[in-house]
Amino acid sequence: MAGRKRKSKKTIRTRLSILAAALFILFVLFFQAARFLDSPPGRVFLLDIGFDSKFSEVQSDINQRVIRVLMENGVKRSSMEIIPGAEGEGYTIRAPLPANRSLVKLNVALDSAVEDMGGRVRECHEKDSGNSLDMKIGTGRRLTHRCLIKRTGKASRANSRIAIVVDDFGYSYNGVAREFIELDAGITISVIPGLKHSQRICAEASRAKRAFICHMPMESEEGECQGENCLKVSMSDSQIEDAVIAALEQIPGAAGMNNHMGSKATADRRVMATVLKACRERDIFFLDSLTSPNSVVAEIAEGMGLPVLANDIFLDNRGDDIRGNMLKLMRQSERRGWAIGIMHVRSDSFRELKWMVNEAKKRGIEFITLKDLITLIAGKEA
């Protein structure tokens, strides 16, 4: 009898333990569900399954993201026109995109920002010969925004200019490197600091009167960070500044700087504020290679009054149609008046670059260095 009672008590304790564990799991699930439903993706989910009362909250969430992306791409908040629709209808946002910004990059950034919260770009149409975008944004069920974005400062074809940056110099000084340096075109060479041939490349570029900049290694989203001076988001402000100074000392005479990789670093406000401050103090410009749609470089630079440019297209990523990308870049230049492309110090890229130089000449497009491009744009904006 006593044995049966002990067994019965043990069974009860086991069942109570299971019940407690189940209740704990249910509590955790309920808590996580409540957190999700109170987040932007959760509100989008509720709206799409029929909770129309969530429309204004979702619209506000998307509105904040659209405005943030526009500002990160150089659109001033004061220049945006936000027109509310009737209750339950979408907003209309009209925004002028600066001439030195890419509509393609803006399109990608908006799409990414909206998708991150569960929304979507429902429609997107390029208009005005590629100088404006008409985007409809919302959720699966509802339209919350129509964005009309028009690039300003359109230039004539006769005044078109292209700035080509050739990345990754410094690993070797071979025939391909010499061909790029000796090429009679206004290209800009980008040299990684601290490599075996970095300083020799700078000396040879100076001798050939070729413009060159510092190709600053920065941390990627995957955590990759190459080189002794590579900038990591875990570094302190003083460590970042010291790394920038050390890199520039290894690239004497650099007119500017651009990022090597850096999808994680260029999205970090503190890191880039420190980098751009160091550039401003040394009177050099910064080219955002735009390895991430989440880059904050443009927004921070505008507030600091620092000259900054942004890459329009990587011309020769592995597997790409290099010549096709070059044609896109030339069309971009003809629409906007100028364009920036990045390529790499490779033999196939050099062959295609020679073709592009000849093709650009036929079209009346001038090759120009980054430094001269900044001077040109500053003159037009003055």
- Per-residue pLDDT at 33: 64
User: Would you say 325 and 345 are in contact if contact means Cβ atoms under 8 Å apart?
Assistant: no
Residues ≥6 apart with Cβ < 8 Å to 61 = 40, 43, 44, 117
The mean per-residue pLDDT over the stretch 213-229 comes to 92
Q: How many CB atoms lie within 10 A of CB 185?
A: 18
Residue 47 has pLDDT above 70, yes or no: yes
Q: Please provide residue 105's backbone torsions phi and psi, each rounded to the nearest 5 degrees.
A: -65, -40
| pLDDT range class, residue 236, cuts 50, 70, 90 | very high
Which two three-digit tokens encode residue 13? 């304790």
Q: How many CB atoms lie within 10 A of CB 31?
A: 10
Whose tokens are 């990059």? That residue is 105
- Per-residue pLDDT at 5: 54
Which two three-digit tokens encode residue 327? 């044609």
Tally the residues of the chain. 382
- Per-residue pLDDT at 86: 76
Residue 274 has pLDDT above 90, yes or no: yes
Question: pTM for the whole thing?
Answer: 0.64
Distance CA 36, CA 42 (A): 5
Q: How many CB atoms lie within 10 A of CB 124?
A: 14
Better pLDDT: 28 or 338: 338
Average pLDDT of the chain, as a whole number:
89
- Per-residue pLDDT at 382: 45
Under CATH, to which class is 157-381 assigned?
Answer: alpha beta
Give the range among 5-14, 73-82, 89-98 with minimum mean pLDDT: 5-14
Residue 273 has pLDDT above 90, yes or no: yes
pLDDT per residue as tens digits for the range 299-353: 999 888 888 899 999 999 888 899 999 999 999 999 889 999 999 999 999 999 9
Q: Right CATH number for 48-151 from 3.30.460.10, 1.10.10.10, 3.20.20.140, 3.90.180.10?
A: 3.30.460.10
Pairing of strands 211-218, 188-191: parallel
Residue 37 has pLDDT above 90, yes or no: no
The mean per-residue pLDDT over the stretch 210-238 comes to 93
Where b means 16+ CB within 10 Å and e means fewer, 255-279 reads bbbbbbbbbbbbbbeebbbbbbbbb
The mean per-residue pLDDT over the stretch 170-197 comes to 96
Spatial CA neighbour of 309 closest among 334, 330, 338, 349:
338
Q: How far is CA 222 from CA 236, 286, 350, in A?
A: 20, 23, 29
Domain ranges of the chain: 48-151, 157-381
The mean per-residue pLDDT over the stretch 281-297 comes to 94
Please state, for a pLDDT cut of 90, what percent of the chain lies above it: 62
